Amino acid sequence: MQAVDYNTSMTALEAVLLGILEGATEFLPISSTGHLILARHLLGIAESPFTTSFLIAIQLGAIAAVVLSFWRSFLDAEILKRLLTAFVPTAIIGFILYKLIKDFLLTSELTVVIALLVGGILLIALELLHKENVHGDDSLRSITYKQAFLIGLFQSIAIIPGVSRSGATIAGGLLLGLRRVAIVEFSFLLAVPTMLAATGYDLLKTYSTLEAGNIGLMLLGAVTAFIVALLALRFLLAFVKTRTFIPFGVYRILLAVVFLIFVL
């Protein structure tokens, strides 16, 4: 393993760089958390309770971008009920496994690399085998409660950093026969209660250990993530209308191989 001289604290520039990475990758099926963990390693930022909480908290910026872009959907009671149904399994599993996620999974670069590699292979295989339901409905109201619950189960797999929350939900939706545009938008919306719960629970557990400077870094990272995520949302919605997710699968594999060979 390549030796890295770890910093004892995070700088404002590093917070901005991580915020850019979070906003750019949160809604793509390439794992934002995985990218942040690997970036933390490359930047030489020491693993600590604060840096782990930082990686969770800056997701609030991406959440705000979704709310701003899709606020009308959150006023639709039928869509909200489906989102709640999908959120339940993730909330239960995340609560039960919180300490495992925080103390081990979010600190393991090797776990991220393996998940990126396996996830990339599976994503390509899914796309090669998947046949789009051309007669399906793009409306989120067409998603049944059973499908919503199963999508939530798929999302819970993403407690493993490197899997990708959006990748897991999108793959689950495609396997369940949903239209590509519908499951991508549903994945965006489902991110809001999921990341709000994850961030809120983590901050509740760790707020007493945070210093004023650390809170400022979190806000800086979150604001940066918000601005970049607005652009990333538009990109992915336009992308899925005409293309498959195979390029993202290839990217995941290449990134994993590069880290295995040159970094870890």
The whole-number mean pLDDT for each consecutive block of 10 residues of the chain, a chain of 264 residues, reads 52 93 92 87 83 84 92 94 94 81 71 91 91 75 94 90 89 90 92 87 73 82 95 86 89 92 74
Paired residues of 226 in beta bridges: none
* Rounded distance between C-alpha atoms, residue 128 and residue 135, angstroms: 20
Give the pLDDT of residue 136.
Answer: 65
Rounded distance, CA 12 to CA 3, Å? 24
CA 40, 38, 208 angle in degrees (round to 5)?
45
pLDDT, residue 17, reads 94
Q: Which two tokens stand for residue 216?
A: 């400022």
CA angle 244, 135, 155 (to 5 degrees): 50
